[in-house]
Structure 1
């Protein structure tokens, strides 16, 4: 399975959108692999982490995000569930769950209801360590043009998450404790 080939397939003629998502996803994959290696956990599935990171935003191909050159019908918040559908159809159920669960630090049924999000009412938070690693890595990178290669600081990530509540920052802090050596997140 070649992640770039899958992205090309689903972005179709939208080469610009595909390239932006791929560049972002490469940054996320590199960060995710660095986090995974820093854990010292030899049981982690590194090839899966890399593939999932490269495919986590495949659903962007179907959303309306003009800044990413994407002109689908779905709102951007739906890119996770759309990615899940795409990757399940491709026979990649584990990767599909990463797509669905990578939004922020995950979405709860309460988040979906309180924000009136156009999403199914179900828990969409990373469950497996590999899923948390990809999701954590994604928090450090934006897909905004001009910012694709810029890694956010810990404080910038905290500020971004804080817009959705202190409980989201607490989840992030818990992941830092779980996945990174103390000197990295202090």
Structure 2
């Protein structure tokens, strides 16, 4: 049986999922460090009765997110795929989170806090690093009815107001399973080695393959 592995270290801790057909195992540990990535994978493989040779496709988030987290996660997945036995798929964090809405990507906005007064926004398949007022203006001008957000977005008065005014249904970025990202395996071009762009503004440059 061929398995897909999904690894996300762009947010708090580590999230990892292993799936094949109807088989699915996931681990989410908000306090975990990169040092346990290998042990976490071994644990998931043991639970499904598989070996590393059964993993044929690996997906990893390449940012935006924590510098150290992304660097560790991408390096780990690059190592898994270096032999050429499996394909590596690099996806942006916002692209992956958009899948949590359960509707086509082009009809979803993703709003994640970057730092005080600034946000990462994915809208109409384009990603930006902008201030709160600009997020509000773009959402007001859009026709999206679904948004995947983090907890910070749900406590920001300006954002909450525009969600309510536009009738935008929000999904918290921690509420769903990673297997909802699986369709990206069929829409993202795989590469053996994918370079993560961890730091603004290089994150928005085209990923190097």
Interval containing the TM-score (normalised by the shorter chain) = 0.3 to 0.5
Pick the structure with more helix per residue. Answer: 1
Greater Rg over alpha carbons, structure: 2
Pick the structure with more strand per residue. Answer: 2
